[in-house]
């Protein structure tokens, strides 16, 4: 295979892997509830693309295998067969087998994959052998139904009884000159019911002949829902003179076949924008329509969020390697530094009355900042990217462990830096595994306790004060404090006479090699999980906490920085050095007066702030500042550190600015109390304080360099 | 750093006398009365000494960090690491080295002055003797006699890894007052 073909093959494999994800997620949703027609179409299209691509590249085993799968999916789509649990299970196995086959194709060694795919293919054929319409129970090698299985006859697509309209809309080329925009009409049409639309590109001339002021597009579509002809015609009222509009009323059966027809013509033409609902109408109008805001966040992988975006994405997204984006981000970072340097010099010019210069600098600042934000956004992906892996895991594990689990997501559109997301995947998988294995009890046990037999596993993500919070909570058994204590004593982690409080006790589960599971299973219990979870989170600059109450449930809270690249900072002076404090951590800053200070114990000053005594941390001392003549601190900066308010005594407050975070670890190592470094306008390096860690540093002032930090 | 034969390196330090001959090239520098050498392929650049941002709570020989074209690079004071009295003069420079080709880690070394570039044959390098704990012997690659003087070749990876070694940390904890930061 020559190099060029190999590259194209690589793209096909990447796309296939995405298509497999779409397939898998779609199948899991099928299992949860009655299938909407569009859902099945998305699944079918994913399989179809894989088959087509595989045939093109001569990957015959893949193509043949997918063909069998596709036959079954086609029966589901056309309503000839119901998607019951057994069928979905076989299809899920087929997804795995297909994944292995494709992986085998990369290594030019498909023997093992073929061998494992054979029984799955037989299972698929066995399902196909059962004539649809007869009782579908014995389909495939029968096994226990999955925990969330829906009974077959419930799977009738929702809204199936509703009729609809087939419509053809061919605007005249001069429609825009009259001030009408077909995209707007189509969008309004989508508001009436479920709109499936396909652009007719046959009238589009070649590029040389193309007049961008003319409309060369037409649309064919199917509108599902109880909509009257008058309602539709009202939307086209303004353009009746400038278009051809054909409407045809459809009953339920005719609607289904019209939909299938529309879809098959869509999948048949690779160049045509894929048909889709609602917002895909925007997509279809995009190539000619005036620029308009992107309605959905740029989320190429947000497949589970909305099936419509799956279908519409091919026309709206392009693949860019992460390296290119990172190079861009680095350059923008440099630009920000240069800009703040210019601003420093520009400040000196101001007296000369060179207002043109000042305006230019102000504009530069605005544009730089905007550019920076935009580039940052490129790297942001919704957390559903990571969440989407979990339904399959929960599906498989709950069957294996005999649990009934409802997996619920909220805030899956919360966006996070791609690097953070990728490194978050493993910890999340660990936590979900743990929740199923240790947390949620078997149905019988739950019922005996008076709980619902189905346990709830809730993953939520949201923003809070410049952080992203991800919470994984279950309503299971909770942490067993006594057993943790016994285990910790047994391992010598705590002294026999010591009685740690609840928080300390819970924190022990993050200790390496700590597990209270009585039996080591292949799911969890080896005690290698939680310390890895904790370490991964800390390496991302985040923290993990656990709250648990016995018998009621456990909840893990992961706190992560929004991005690893930029920070709104307050510059402070400590001695002769400048440090950066994250602006979001600062609650308030007050003048420090000796009269407010009390020292109940040595090295333990507190300051009275209104009616509260706040512990004072002298940064000059904590940061090991060795000045010949220490000058007294002037300001007290109240920050929240590790859940408590502390006051940082500093010499001076300087400006506030956005700083680009540079890693200290890259060339050196992690330093306790320091989150990173940045480069100031004058080219000097300033360290960024890790406010969260400061309060724990404060607790050990006599040995600021914790031995653990040397590793 | 392996001592295998290499293609001749470009002259990365203009103005220094290049000695022709066979063998690997070494950049030498002066520290107190001794001359030390590092493989020239590991040297990225030589920077004039400038203000360093100290990092709190680190061993004394870690002077701090500097901005090297947008990257934050730690700077080690070799005088302090070799337990010589601190001294900064007009010829004091920071040699930027990248000890491991496989790793992007870059570190600056503060030395009294750069000296010369030599080609040294592998056979001429003698193993380092024991120094009685003064300097960790692992930091030394060997000794070479050149033109009647001795050049001490440094093992960069060990030298830089030493920044976090227990001994130096213990030293900084025992004598925190000894470690006045410059600048």
DSSP state of A197: E
* B71-77: strand order across its sheet: B43-48, B93-97, B107-111, B71-77, B62-68
Distance separating alpha carbons of residues A145 and A275, to the nearest angstrom = 34
Chain B 72-111, residues with CB within 8 Å of chain A CB atoms: 72-74, 104-107
Q: Is residue B2 part of a domain?
A: no
pTM of this prediction exceeds 0.80? no
A198 contacts: CB under 8 Å, gap ≥ 6: A219, A220, A221, A262, A265, A266, A272, A273, A275, A284
Is residue A231 located within the same domain as residue A339?
no
Is residue A422 located within the same domain as residue A505?
yes
Q: Is residue A595 part of a domain?
A: yes
Q: Is residue B58 part of a domain?
A: yes
Q: Is residue A519 part of a domain?
A: yes
Structure token digits, residue A636: 């007290």
- pLDDT, residue A155, reads 38
Distance, C-alpha A27 to centroid of its chain: 20
Q: Is residue B143 part of a domain?
A: yes
| B157 phi-psi bin (left φ>0, alpha ψ -120 to 50, beta other) | alpha
pLDDT-based confidence at residue A681 (cuts at 50, 70, 90): confident
Q: Is residue A605 part of a domain?
A: yes
Q: Is residue A224 part of a domain?
A: yes
Q: Which residue has the higher pLDDT, A244 or A309?
A: A244
Distance separating alpha carbons of residues A701 and B97, to the nearest angstrom = 34
Q: Is residue A601 part of a domain?
A: yes
Q: Is residue A156 part of a domain?
A: no
CA distance B122 to chain A (A): 30
Percent of chain B with pLDDT strictly greater than 70: 70
Least CB–CB distance from B169: residue in A333, A673, A710:
A710
Mean pLDDT, chain B, integer: 74
Range with the lowest mean pLDDT among A4-8, A341-345, A396-400, A436-440? A4-8
Report yes or no: A462 and A411 within 8 Å, Cβ to Cβ.
Answer: yes
Q: Which range, A19-23, A184-188, B44-48, B155-159, has the best average confidence (pLDDT)?
A: B44-48
B162–chain A Cβ distance below 8 A for any pair? no
The count of other CB atoms within 10 Å of the CB of residue A398 is: 22
Q: State the number of CA atoms in the 13 A half-sphere of A502 facing the CB.
A: 9
- pLDDT, residue A643, reads 64
Range with the lowest mean pLDDT among A234-243, A423-432, A437-446, B161-170? B161-170
- pLDDT, residue A516, reads 53
Q: Is residue A307 part of a domain?
A: no
Domain that includes residue B154, residue range: 24-174
Interface test with A, best of B51, B58, B64, B72 (most A CBs within 10 A): B72
Distance separating alpha carbons of residues A639 and A669, to the nearest angstrom = 26
Is residue A485 located within the same domain as residue A617?
no
**Last-in-domain residue among A379, A395, A423:** A379
List CB contacts (< 8 A) between B105 and chain A: 666-667
Structure token digits, residue A567: 């920070």
Under DSSP, is residue A286 helix (H, G, I), strand (E, B) or coil?
coil
**Per-residue DSSP letters for chain B?**
------PPPP--STTSPBPPSSSEEEEEEEETTEEEEEEGGGEEEEEE----BPPTTS-TTEEEEEEETTEEEEEEEHHHHTTPPP---TT-EEEEE---TTS---EEEEESEEEEEEEE-GGGPBPPPP-TTSS-GGGEEEEEEETTEEEEEE-HHHHHHGGG-HHHHHHHHH-GGG-PPP-
Q: Is residue B1 part of a domain?
A: no
Under DSSP, is residue A467 helix (H, G, I), strand (E, B) or coil?
strand
CA distance A646 to chain B (A): 20
Question: Which CATH number do you get for residue A652?
Answer: 2.30.30.40
Q: With an 8 Å Cβ cutoff, are A624 and B53 in contact? A: no
Chain B 35-54, residues with CB within 8 Å of chain A CB atoms: 51, 53-54
pLDDT tens profile A137-185: 443 343 343 343 333 333 334 444 567 888 888 888 877 777 777 887 8
- pLDDT, residue A286, reads 41
Q: Tally the domains of chain A.
A: 5
Q: Is residue B52 part of a domain?
A: yes
The mean pLDDT value for A175-197 works out to: 78
A557 has pLDDT over 60: yes
List CB contacts (< 8 A) between B58 and chain A: 671, 705
B172–chain A Cβ distance below 8 A for any pair? yes
Distance separating alpha carbons of residues A669 and A539, to the nearest angstrom = 12
Report yes or no: A163 and A123 within 8 Å, Cβ to Cβ.
Answer: no
Q: With an 8 Å Cβ cutoff, are A337 and B51 in contact? A: no
pLDDT tens profile B73-127: 999 988 888 878 878 888 889 999 987 776 778 999 999 999 989 888 877 888 8
A663–chain B Cβ distance below 8 A for any pair? yes
Helix A85-106 to helix A111-129 angle (10° resolution) is 160
Q: Is residue B60 part of a domain?
A: yes
Closest CA to A233 of A250, A245, A243, A216: A245
A671–chain B Cβ distance below 8 A for any pair? yes
Q: Which range, A73-87, A97-111, A425-439, B165-179, has the best average confidence (pLDDT)?
A: A425-439
A96 contacts: CB under 8 Å, gap ≥ 6: A120
- pLDDT, residue A354, reads 63
Quickly list H helices, A379-519: 384-387, 390-401, 418-434, 443-448, 481-490, 502-507
Cα distances (Å, whole numbers) of residue A281 to A210, A285, A309, B63, B90: 22, 6, 11, 61, 70
pLDDT tens profile A346-369: 777 666 666 778 788 888 988 988
pLDDT tens profile A90-99: 888 888 888 8
Q: Among positive and negative, which fits the CA dihedral B17, B23, B25, B26?
A: negative
Q: Is the ipTM of this complex over 0.90?
A: no
Report yes or no: A466 and A582 within 8 Å, Cβ to Cβ.
Answer: yes
A668–chain B Cβ distance below 8 A for any pair? yes
List CB contacts (< 8 A) between B164 and chain A: 669, 710
pLDDT tens profile A413-432: 888 888 788 888 888 888 88
Distance separating alpha carbons of residues B155 and B37, to the nearest angstrom = 9
A571 has pLDDT over 90: yes
Least CB–CB distance from B74: residue in A668, A686, A705:
A668
Closest-CA residue in chain B for A660? B70
Percent of chain A with pLDDT strictly greater than 90: 3
Is residue A590 located within the same domain as residue A533?
no
Interface test with B, best of A578, A629, A668, A686 (most B CBs within 10 A): A668
Q: Among positive and negative, which fits the CA dihedral A711, B2, B8, B11?
A: positive
Helix, strand, coil shares of chain A, percent, nearest 5, are 45, 20, 30
Q: Which range, A42-46, A146-150, A445-449, A511-515, has the best average confidence (pLDDT)?
A: A445-449
CA distance A576 to chain B (A): 9
Distance separating alpha carbons of residues A619 and A649, to the nearest angstrom = 6
pLDDT-based confidence at residue A572 (cuts at 50, 70, 90): very high
Distance, C-alpha B113 to centroid of its chain: 11
Is residue A451 located within the same domain as residue A600?
no
Is residue A342 located within the same domain as residue A409?
no
Question: Which CATH number do you get for residue B52?
Answer: 2.40.50.180
Is residue A629 located within the same domain as residue A550?
no
Q: Which residue has the higher pLDDT, A55 or A20?
A: A20
Q: Tally the domains of chain B.
A: 1
**Per-residue DSSP letters for A540-598?**
TT-EEEEEEETTTEEEEEEEEES-SSEEEEEEEEETTEEEEEEGGGEEEEEE--GGGEE
The count of other CB atoms within 10 Å of the CB of residue A478 is: 18
B88 contacts: CB under 8 Å, gap ≥ 6: B49, B182
Mean pLDDT, chain A, integer: 75
Domain that includes residue A604, residue range: 566-710
A246 has pLDDT over 70: yes
Q: Is residue B50 part of a domain?
A: yes
Is residue A361 located within the same domain as residue A386?
no
Least CB–CB distance from B56: residue in A337, A624, A669:
A624
Is residue A400 located within the same domain as residue A546?
yes
Report yes or no: A84 and A136 within 8 Å, Cβ to Cβ.
Answer: yes
Q: Is residue A203 part of a domain?
A: yes
Is residue A579 located within the same domain as residue A547?
no
- pLDDT, residue A212, reads 77
Kindly tell me the burial class for residue B62, based on how many C-beta atoms sit within 10 Å of its own C-beta (0-12, 13-18, 19 or more). Answer: buried
Task: Sort strands B62-68 and A644-650 into parallel, antiparallel or unpaired.
Answer: unpaired
pLDDT-based confidence at residue A699 (cuts at 50, 70, 90): low
Q: Which residue has the higher pLDDT, A288 or B94?
A: B94
A708–chain B Cβ distance below 8 A for any pair? no
Q: Is residue B75 part of a domain?
A: yes
Is residue A598 located within the same domain as residue A687?
yes
A595 contacts: CB under 8 Å, gap ≥ 6: none
The mean pLDDT value for A96-124 works out to: 78
Percent of chain A with pLDDT strictly greater than 70: 78
Is residue A396 located within the same domain as residue A412?
yes
Query: Please, which residues bridge with residue B74 across strands?
Result: B65
Angle at CA A51, nearest 5°, toward A89 and A281? 90
């Amino acid at each position: 295979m020559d190099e060029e073909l190999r590259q194209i093959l690589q793209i096909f494999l990447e796309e296939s892997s995405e298509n497999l994800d779409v397939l898998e997620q779609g199948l899991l949703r099928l299992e949860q509830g009655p299938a909407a027609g569009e859902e099945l179409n998305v699944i079918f299209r994913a399989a179809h693309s894989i088959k087509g691509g595989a045939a093109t590249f001569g990957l015959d085993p893949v193509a043949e295998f997918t063909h069998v799968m596709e036959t079954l999916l086609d029966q589901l789509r056309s309503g000839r067969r119901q998607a019951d649990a057994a069928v979905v299970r076989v299809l899920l196995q087929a997804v795995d087998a297909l994944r292995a086959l494709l992986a085998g194709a990369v290594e030019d060694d498909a023997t093992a994959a073929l061998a494992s795919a054979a029984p799955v293919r037989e299972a698929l054929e066995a399902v196909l052998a059962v004539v649809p319409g007869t009782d579908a129970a014995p389909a495939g090698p029968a096994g226990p139904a999955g925990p969330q299985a829906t009974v077959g006859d419930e799977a009738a697509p929702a809204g199936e009884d509703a009729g609809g309209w087939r419509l053809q809309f061919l605007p005249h080329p001069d429609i825009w000159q009259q001030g009408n925009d077909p995209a707007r009409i189509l969008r309004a049409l989508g508001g009436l019911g479920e709109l499936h639309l396909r652009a007719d590109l046959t009238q589009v001339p070649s590029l040389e002949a193309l007049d961008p002021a003319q409309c060369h597009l037409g649309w064919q579509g199917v509108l599902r829902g109880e909509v009257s002809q008058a309602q539709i015609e009202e939307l086209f009222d303004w353009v009746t003179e400038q278009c051809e509009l054909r409407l045809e009323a459809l009953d339920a059966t005719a609607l289904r076949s019209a939909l299938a027809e529309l879809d098959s013509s869509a999948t048949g033409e690779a160049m045509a924008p894929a048909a889709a609902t609602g917002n895909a109408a925007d997509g279809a109008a995009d190539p000619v329509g005036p620029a308009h805001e992107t309605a959905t966040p740029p989320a190429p992988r947000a497949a589970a969020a909305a099936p419509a975006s799956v279908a519409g994405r091919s026309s709206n997204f392009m693949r860019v390697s992460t390296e290119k984006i990172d190079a861009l981000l680095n350059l923008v970072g440099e630009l920000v530094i240069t800009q703040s340097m210019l601003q420093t010099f520009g400040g000196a010019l101001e007296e000369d009355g060179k207002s043109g210069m000042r305006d230019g600098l102000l504009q530069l600042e605005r544009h730089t900042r905007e550019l920076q934000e935009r580039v940052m956004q490129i790297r942001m992906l919704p957390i559903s990217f990571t969440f989407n892996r979990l339904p399959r895991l929960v599906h498989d594990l709950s069957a294996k462990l005999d649990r009934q689990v409802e997996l619920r997501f909220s805030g899956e559109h919360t966006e996070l830096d791609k690097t953070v997301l990728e490194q978050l995947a493993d910890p999340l998988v660990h936590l979900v595994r743990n929740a199923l294995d240790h947390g949620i009890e078997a149905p019988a046990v739950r019922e005996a306790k008076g709980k619902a037999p189905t346990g709830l596993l809730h993953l939520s993500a949201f923003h809070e004060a410049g952080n992203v919070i991800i919470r994984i909570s279950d309503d299971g058994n909770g942490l067993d404090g006594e057993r943790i204590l016994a285990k910790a004593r047994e391992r010598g982690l705590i002294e026999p006479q010591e009685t740690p409080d609840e928080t300390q006790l819970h924190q022990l589960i993050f200790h390496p090699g700590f597990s209270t599971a009585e039996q080591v299973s292949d799911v969890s219990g080896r005690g290698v999980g939680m310390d890895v979870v904790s370490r991964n989170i800390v390496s991302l600059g985040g923290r993990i906490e656990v709250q648990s109450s016995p018998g009621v449930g456990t909840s893990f809270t992961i706190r992560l920085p929004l991005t690893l690249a930029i920070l709104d900072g307050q510059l402070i002076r400590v001695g002769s050095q400048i440090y950066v404090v994250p602006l979001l951590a600062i609650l308030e800053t007050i003048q420090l007066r000796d009269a407010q200070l009390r020292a109940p114990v040595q090295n333990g000053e507190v300051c009275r702030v209104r009616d509260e005594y706040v512990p004072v941390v002298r940064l000059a001392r904590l940061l090991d500042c060795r000045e010949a003549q220490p000058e007294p601190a002037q300001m007290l900066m109240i920050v929240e550190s590790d859940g408590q308010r502390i006051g940082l005594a500093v010499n001076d407050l300087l400006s506030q600015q956005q700083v680009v975070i540079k890693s200290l670890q890259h060339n050196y190592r992690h330093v306790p109390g320091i989150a990173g470094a940045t480069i100031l306008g004058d080219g000097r390096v300033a360290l960024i304080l890790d406010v969260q860690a400061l309060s724990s540093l404060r607790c050990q002032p006599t040995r600021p360099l914790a031995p653990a930090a040397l590793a | 750093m392996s001592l295998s034969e290499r293609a001749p390196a470009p002259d990365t330090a203009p103005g220094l006398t290049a000695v022709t001959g066979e063998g690997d090239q070494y950049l030498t520098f002066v520290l107190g009365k001794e001359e030390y050498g590092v493989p020239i392929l590991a040297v990225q650049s030589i920077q004039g000494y400038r203000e360093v941002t100290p990092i709190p709570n680190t061993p004394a020989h870690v002077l701090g960090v500097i901005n090297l074209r947008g990257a934050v690079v730690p700077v080690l004071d070799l005088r302090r690491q070799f337990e010589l009295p601190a001294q900064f003069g007009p010829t004091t420079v920071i040699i930027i080295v990248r000890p491991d080709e496989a790793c992007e880690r870059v570190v600056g070394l503060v030395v009294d002055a750069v000296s010369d570039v030599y080609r040294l044959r592998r056979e001429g390098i003698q193993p380092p003797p024991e120094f009685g704990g003064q300097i960790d012997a692992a930091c030394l690659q060997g000794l070479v006699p050149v033109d009647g003087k001795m050049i001490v070749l440094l093992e960069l990876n060990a030298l830089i890894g030493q920044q976090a070694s227990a001994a130096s940390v213990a030293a900084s904890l025992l004598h925190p007052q000894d470690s006045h930061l410059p600048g």
